[in-house]
Amino acid sequence: MLNRQQAPDFKQVSTINFIQAAESKLQNNVPVFTIYSGEQDLVRLEFIFSNVNWDLQKPLQAIAVNAMLNSGTAQRTAKEIAEQIDFYGAFFQTEYVQDQSSVTLYTLNKHLAAVLPIVKDVISHSQFPQHELDIYIQNQKQKLQVNLKKNDVLSRKEFAHALFGNTAYGVDIQAGHYDALQRDDLVTYFKSAYAPNNCTIIASGKFEEESFKLLDEQFGQYWESSNAVKNKFSFAEREKQSIYREKAEALQSAIRIGKIAINRTHEDFAGLQILNTVLGGYFGSRLMANIREDKGYTYGIGSGISSLHDAGYFFIATEVGADVCADALKEIYKEIEIIKNELISEEELDLVRNYMLGSMLGSLENVFSHADKFKNIYFTGLGYDYYQKYIQTVKTITAEELQQLANKYFTTEDFTEVIIGKK
């Protein structure tokens, strides 16, 4: 007779294998890291550029250049670029994040030779036509208007600005910043940032000798260097800040609280990630268990640690019923106090260890995820031993060590607290 009350036997994840990146260089010394897998006949190529020449007077130039990269070159209009890429079934994406701007190409290998010259044209000869800029400004301002009606978006903006002020990490973008965009500034920024000496290429998939040659032919030559200065920020400790923006009609309030903490390079980072998982980093976390599953105040609540190049931060975020906002806040702070004052039980800690190891294994789903893992370490100056140490820490950290970390980092007396809605 089957005993359904008895859980089947299980094992903790023992080994996690990483597909390590192999480094090579184009003729012009642009580093190319290949994360190889021959499973599918396709490749993802990422061209990653550091954000440079930060200028508070022109906070949108890096963002606009990235978004408008495919809006026309001397040879091709925006429409022609899109048509040609689409014709080959390829995907061209641009992304701006706090520290980097990137261009990503996804293509089947059989079309690589055809699409690479288009990407080269875009990355080295983009022109930012004035009429395209006008359309960009108009439509981005409209998108901003819609976003400013969303409480969670407002809470993110306020929180980042409170922590990081007028840097690329925290600047509060308003409609006027779009109006101030000038074509000349974009062209200047483009030439500074999208240069071979500021570029790292990550190739993942079935990327072989033949493909490397194609890449080298296009990007290894006829591409001008620049002397841009990589952004560098430093941040002082912040005092406690409380920001409240009342929205009379709000059905829910967006809450975001936290502080500047540490990034991946710090020795406490892995431990803090484990602590964060216990508090609010997975579905079974304490915040979810209390504020969603017990009280029903919210559809979701979570916490996280974000690692940027020049800083890291810890945050708790949720949207809760406007009528229970004060109660939800009280419960959040209560959970923080408990994790600072009481040892995590072995049972809970074991669960979190196993969950995190399984989650790490599962996050290596395909060759692209292996490449993402490489980017995490490479751009923070770490090696693969980072992951070995991380896994070791997950397996062996003690409840006492976690409590010490809680008291070191969850110092609510200097937390920034943002509430948008009603309280």
Partner 1 sequence: MVDFNRFTLANGLKVLVHEDATTPMAVLNILYDVGARDEDPEKTGFAHLFEHLMFGGSVNIPSYDEPLQRVGGENNAFTSNDITNYYITLPSENLETAFWLESDRMLSLAFSEKSLETQRNVVCEEFKQRYLNQPYGDVWLKLRPLAYKKHAYRWATIGKELSHIENATMEDVKAFFKKHYNPQNAIMVVGGNVKTEEVKALAEKWFGSIPAGVRYERNLVKEDVQTEARVETVTANVPLNAIYIAFKMPERLSPDFYAFDLLSDVLSRGQSSRLYNSLLKEQQLFSDINAYISSSLDAGLFIVEGKLVEGVTMEVAEKAIWAELEKMKNELVPETELTKVKNKVESVLVFSEMSLLDKAMNLAYYELLGDAQLLNKETEAFLKVTAEDIQRISNETFTHNSSSTLYYLTQENA
Among 67, 82, 113, 338, binds partner 1 (CB under 8 A): 82
Taking the C-alpha atoms of residue 4 and residue 206, their distance in angstroms, rounded to an integer, is 45
Q: Is 142 one of the binding residues for partner 1 (CB under 8 A)?
A: yes
Q: Is 180 one of the binding residues for partner 1 (CB under 8 A)?
A: no
Among 252, 276, 393, 416, binds partner 1 (CB under 8 A): 252
Q: Is 146 one of the binding residues for partner 1 (CB under 8 A)?
A: yes
Judged by CB under 8 A, the stretch of 5-13, 94-102, 260-268, 396-404 that binds partner 1 is 5-13
Instruction: Please state the closest distance from residue 87 (CB atom) to partner 1, in A.
Output: 5
Taking the C-alpha atoms of residue 403 and residue 42, their distance in angstroms, rounded to an integer, is 46
Instruction: Please state the closest distance from residue 308 (CB atom) to partner 1, in A.
Output: 26
Taking the C-alpha atoms of residue 93 and residue 116, their distance in angstroms, rounded to an integer, is 14
Q: Is 287 one of the binding residues for partner 1 (CB under 8 A)?
A: no
Residues 6+ apart with CB under 8 A from 331: 290, 291, 295, 297
Q: Is 232 one of the binding residues for partner 1 (CB under 8 A)?
A: no
Task: List the x/- string, 394-423, binding to partner 1 by CB under 8 A.
Answer: ------------------------------
Closer by beta carbon to partner 1, 280 or else 321: 321
Q: Is 346 one of the binding residues for partner 1 (CB under 8 A)?
A: no
Q: What phi and psi values does residue 44 have, to the nearest 5 degrees?
A: -115, 125
Task: List the x/- string, 85-114, binding to partner 1 by CB under 8 A.
Answer: xxxxxxx--------------xxx------
Among 22, 55, 56, 150, binds partner 1 (CB under 8 A): 150
Of 46, 54, 147, which is closest to residue 98 (Cα–Cα)?
54
The structure tokens listed for 413 are 């007396």
Among 40, 197, 388, 392, binds partner 1 (CB under 8 A): 40
CA 223 to chain centre: 28
Closer by beta carbon to partner 1, 89 or else 381: 89
Max Cα-Cα span within the chain: 78
Taking the C-alpha atoms of residue 315 and residue 96, their distance in angstroms, rounded to an integer, is 21
Give alpha helix (H) positions in 54-128.
61-67, 78-87, 112-125
Instruction: Please state the closest distance from residue 352 (CB atom) to partner 1, in A.
Output: 8
Three-state DSSP state, 171 = coil
- By CB under 8 A, the residues from 298 to 317 that bind partner 1 are 298-299
Which amino acid does the sequence have at 60?
L
Kindly state the DSSP code that residue 194 receives in the 8-state scheme: S
